[in-house]
Amino acid sequence: MDSFLQQLINGLALGAIYALIALGYTMVYGVLRFINFAHSDVLMLGAFAAFYLAPHITPLLGVQSVPSALVVIIVSAAICAVIGMTIEFLAYRPLRKRPRLTVLITAIGVSLFIEFTGQHEKVFGAATKSFPTLLPKREIILGALHCSSNDLVVLVLTAVLLVAMWFIVQRTKIGMAMRAVSFNEQAASLMGVNVNGIISFTFGLGSALAAIAGIFYSMRAPGIEPLMGVQPGLRAFIAAVLGGIGNLPGAALGGVVLGLLETFLGGMPGLSNYRDGIAFAMLILILLFRPAGLLGKLSTEKV
Amino acid sequence: MRGKEKSFLLLAIAAAVGLSLGSGMFNRYYLGIAVDVGINIILAVSLNLINGHTGQFSLGHAGFMAVGGFTAAKLTLTCGSSVPPAFQPFFFFAALLLGGIVAAVGGLVVGVPSLRLRGDYLAIVTLGFGEIIRVIFQTSEFFGAATGLTGISKLTTFGWAWAFAAITVYVVACIVNSTYGRGFIAVHDDEIAASAMGINPTRYKVTAFVIGAFFAGIAGGLYAHHKLVLKPDGFDFVKSIEIVVMVILGGMGRTAGVILAAIILTILPELLRGVAEYRMIIYSLLIIALMLTRPQGLFTFGKKGPVK
């Protein structure tokens, strides 16, 4: 029972990270109807931004202190938001009226470009680097349950971010504009919505979330390298499709489901080797029975 | 028309085999690249049937290639030594064929979910199948787990690769240009209109997947006996993307353009070897630049083709 709870917390923390990344995929899909393959690389850039920022920021605000961790996370998220908006402006905006397949291939090109540039020795280098400890790691003991403080921090912060996202999308004017653009771009622009601005904002928001997820992911992973985004990116993409792409609660649900499944099934003896395949197998099974994803049909409103 | 195509096929096979007999005269490095080109033509033309002519979006072509490659290589590795040298070519042919057939069965399995899914969902499911196939090979002891298969005998020659490339081009062209094959294009243009005209889109899609997978499997077998080492890692998502880029660059549904693109994209990385560290960066920038400037494909000049 204890090991079950232990695994549950592990799975939830992993799922929370997937959910954060999946939100970015789903929001971009909502406004532009295409899969932003470069999203997983923005995640990697977020982790690297934190990696290079931490040595400069921690001396000012205290090593392994909460304020310095927060500043690192916020600044990295801001950098990635700018990167995401730049990618959209340079690579995707000129293709707005073209077939979606064209945009998809461009996205793959952007993703490969970031990965290979990152692997160049003058940029990040292909070798794995150890990620700085942003927060002191403590074992928290609840009865017989041992869990890492980092897992709890990730869980709480993700929950806060999910609520914040819900608030932005459902309760603010810009969120209303996002929903309008996703519902009908042309009608939205006739109503005075600045479509380009909204799409830019969506990319920025999604990329910031990806950067935060990248930092969380690196806090749990042994090290960071330029291809680190690929696996979590794929999983998060699956999570987004699983929940019904374009649907925000769906992405969060898909992420958590996937994180839990991966932790529990991957922990079983004999199945651990198939960890990489489990996520895809689940996806295919679910799509066979619910082609629009878990929550895809329940809500007609897509963001 | 059909007669002309058939003579093209025979001529191409004869030329490939003839050149292959004199292959001793050529530099081994260039010969190796020429074989790579032939294999990539098979991959690109077969994917073009699925992605170009039929208008589906498959991201799992490397998976089918892996199935064919591992099947054929395992067969030649286990029974190759007991086959007398005189029968070696027939045996190799049988091994390639078996690889193709097993891959085609895989195509059938992937084709079935494609009945219900479209666009992005189909893309991710084919990507998923490709990854699952890779994971299966990676964990299966029978196929050498993560180290893969080694010590495969060198059976692929210039003649084999280019003869199969010619056969692939011929078969795909004949299918698409036949009365039956117009259905692929109809499904590509408008699925609803096609089914209103009595065409069963599902059947066409599955047929496209099966034929495409079959040739990808054959390409995999040729690849295995060319590189002599087969690692599951080599058949990941990036390999599938490479093939998709060839199809896009050539122009979806344009066989001649796709062949040209396969040739260029195989030779280009070799030419860029001098700037090896920037090679992949240039490659990815090229994809982006191409999509921004010529999304219809590099070799599409508004000429009348099988697909508008």
Domain ranges of chain B: 2-236
pLDDT digits (tens, 9 = 90+) for B268-288: 878 877 777 787 888 888 888
What's the mean pLDDT in A266-279? 72
- As a whole number of angstroms, the distance between CA B95 and CA B74 comes to 9
Q: How confident is the model at residue A77 (pLDDT cuts 50, 70, 90)?
A: very high
Residues of A in contact with B288 (CB under 8 A): 91, 106, 109-110, 113
pLDDT digits (tens, 9 = 90+) for B64-103: 999 999 998 888 888 777 777 777 788 888 888 999 999 9
pLDDT at position B304 = 44
The answer as to whether A302 is a domain residue is no
Residue A274 touches chain B, beta carbons under 8 Å: yes
- As a whole number of angstroms, the distance between CA B44 and CA A54 comes to 46
- As a whole number of angstroms, the distance between CA B189 and CA B55 comes to 8
The answer as to whether A143 is a domain residue is yes
- As a whole number of angstroms, the distance between CA A280 and CA A295 comes to 18
- Domain tally, chain A: 1
Nearest CA in chain B to A122: B277
Q: Give the Cβ contact number of residue A247 at 10 Å.
A: 27
- As a whole number of angstroms, the distance between CA A107 and CA A84 comes to 12
Q: Give me the domain span that covers residue A24.
A: 2-125+132-289
SS3 (DSSP) at B149: strand
The answer as to whether A299 is a domain residue is no
The answer as to whether A210 is a domain residue is yes
More confident residue, A209 or A140: A209
pLDDT over 70 for what percent of chain A? 94
pLDDT digits (tens, 9 = 90+) for B171-195: 888 888 888 888 888 888 888 888 8
- As a whole number of angstroms, the distance between CA B248 and CA B254 comes to 10
- Distance from A105 to chain B by nearest Cα, in Å? 7
pLDDT digits (tens, 9 = 90+) for A32-68: 888 888 999 999 999 999 999 988 887 887 777 788 8
- As a whole number of angstroms, the distance between CA A147 and CA A168 comes to 32
- As a whole number of angstroms, the distance between CA B36 and CA B2 comes to 29
- Residue pair B227/B33 in contact (Cβ under 8 Å)? The answer is no
* Residue from A113, A112, A118 nearest A45 by CA: A118
pLDDT over 90 for what percent of chain A? 29
- As a whole number of angstroms, the distance between CA B182 and CA B265 comes to 29
Q: Per residue in A12-28, is it b (16+ CB within 10 Å) or e — as a string? A: bbbbbbbbbbbbbbbbb
Longest Cα–Cα distance of chain B, Å, equals 57
pLDDT digits (tens, 9 = 90+) for A189-237: 999 999 999 999 999 999 999 999 999 999 887 788 888 888 888 888 8
- Pick the most confident of A80-84, A123-127, B88-92, B115-119: A80-84
- Distance from A295 to chain B by nearest Cα, in Å? 15
- Residue pair B67/B102 in contact (Cβ under 8 Å)? The answer is yes
Interface test with A, best of B51, B120, B238, B298 (most A CBs within 10 A): B120
* Residue from B245, B241, B268 nearest B257 by CA: B245
The answer as to whether A296 is a domain residue is no
> Domain containing A151 — which CATH number?
1.10.3470
What token pair was written down for A241? 């499709």
- Residue pair A230/A116 in contact (Cβ under 8 Å)? The answer is no
Mean per-residue pLDDT over chain A, rounded: 84
What token pair was written down for B121? 């969902």
Residues of B in contact with A284 (CB under 8 A): 113, 125, 128-129, 132
Three-state SS string over B202-227 comes to HHHHHHHHHHHHHHHHHHHHHHHHHH
- Distance from A99 to chain B by nearest Cα, in Å? 9
Q: Is the pLDDT of residue B2 over 60?
A: no
Q: Is the pLDDT of residue B4 over 80?
A: no
Nearest CA in chain B to A120: B277
**What contacts A102, CB < 8 A, 6 or more positions away?**
A95, B291, B295
Its ipTM equals: 0.79
- As a whole number of angstroms, the distance between CA A292 and CA A288 comes to 9
What token pair was written down for B277? 């560290």
User: With an 8 Å Cβ cutoff, are A35 and B128 in contact?
Assistant: no
| DSSP per-residue letters across A57-80 | HHHHH-TT-HHHHHHHHHHHHHHH
User: With an 8 Å Cβ cutoff, are A277 and B136 in contact?
Assistant: yes
**What contacts B38, CB < 8 A, 6 or more positions away?**
B16, B158, B161, B162, B164, B165, B222
Residue B83 sits at φ, ψ, to 5 deg, of -90, 130
* Residue from A193, A190, A250 nearest A30 by CA: A250
**DSSP 8-state symbol, A120:** S
Residue with tokens 């952007």: A110
* Residue from B23, B42, B16, B65 nearest B163 by CA: B16
> How many inter-chain contacts (A to B, CB under 8 Å) are there?
110
- Distance from B47 to chain A by nearest Cα, in Å? 15
Instruction: Cite the DSSP H helix spans in B197-297.
Output: 201-227, 237-250, 255-271, 276-293
**What contacts B66, CB < 8 A, 6 or more positions away?**
B133, B134, B137, B220, B232, B235
- Residue pair B135/B67 in contact (Cβ under 8 Å)? The answer is no
